[in-house]
Amino acid sequence: MLDKTKYHIPEHVGIIMDGNGRWAKKRALPRSIGHKFGAQNFRKITRYISKTGVKVLTLYAFSTENWKRPADEVSALMVLFKQYLIDSLTDFREDDIKVVFIGDRSAFDPKLIELINESEEVAKDRKGMLLNIAMNYGSRDEILRAVKELCTEASEGKLDPQNITEKDISDRLYTGGLPDPDLIIRTGGEFRLSNFLLYQSAYSEFYSTETLWPDFNEEAFDKAIIEFNKRNRRFGGV
């Protein structure tokens, strides 16, 4: 465990969980097996991060673009997601982790939506780390939805378009009211945000690791925090 007296722990961390398919391919296994092991690691690493002092963790689980993947892979992901939702009714209870789902849930099966709502209801009064699970999430779609909401309010005379602020936009995003991410971690070695928290991450530090998501363990997370502490965050200043 990181020494909190030695390292500054970011308040909000976002993680792009990449590499499940490549992890499976390296072992001559179906991609669905990679997703299964990735889901298992998700629980383990979330519990560890909650103990480090991180207040908000946002995990990119399924993007709006992921529907383009082969049907059998999407189906396997939905099965895993449903099982997680069933487990989540008791999952993270002892850790006091509050679970919230961000993204457009309307695309999911009605029973899946019901499970999402029930999972959030069960966890709503927990006081520990907030876990945002981004499902059917795309940042451009999120921003578009926020703009449409502002336009509607302006057309109804509820606000003056000339007085719209950055906060007004932020408040209408899925992460409204939360601090912007201090650190974005991407596993799997890629160096792109892939439509993840584009507005919120304007001044986030970005950290990429070659480690594939199923292998991203406590030590790998600690390395990201140590690297984060080497950064000089100027937020546009000198």
41 is catalytic: no
Convert 40-70 to b/e letters by CB count within 10 Å (16 or more is b).
ebbeebbbebbebbbebbbbbbbbbebeebe
d(CA 150, CA 60): 26
d(CA 31, CA 22): 8
Residue 92 · residue 133 · CB < 8 Å: no
Q: Give helix 71-88 / helix 110-123 axis angle, nearest 10°.
A: 30
Q: Which of 66, 104, 171, 215 is catalytic?
A: 66
Q: Which of 3, 18, 160, 168 is catalytic?
A: 18
18 is catalytic: yes
What would the DSSP string read from start to end of 21-60? HHHHHHTT--HHHHHHHHHHHHHHHHHHHHHHT-SEEEEE
Q: Spell out the residues 6+ positions from residue 234 whose beta carbon is closer than 8 angstroms to its own.
A: none
Catalytic machinery residues: 18, 66
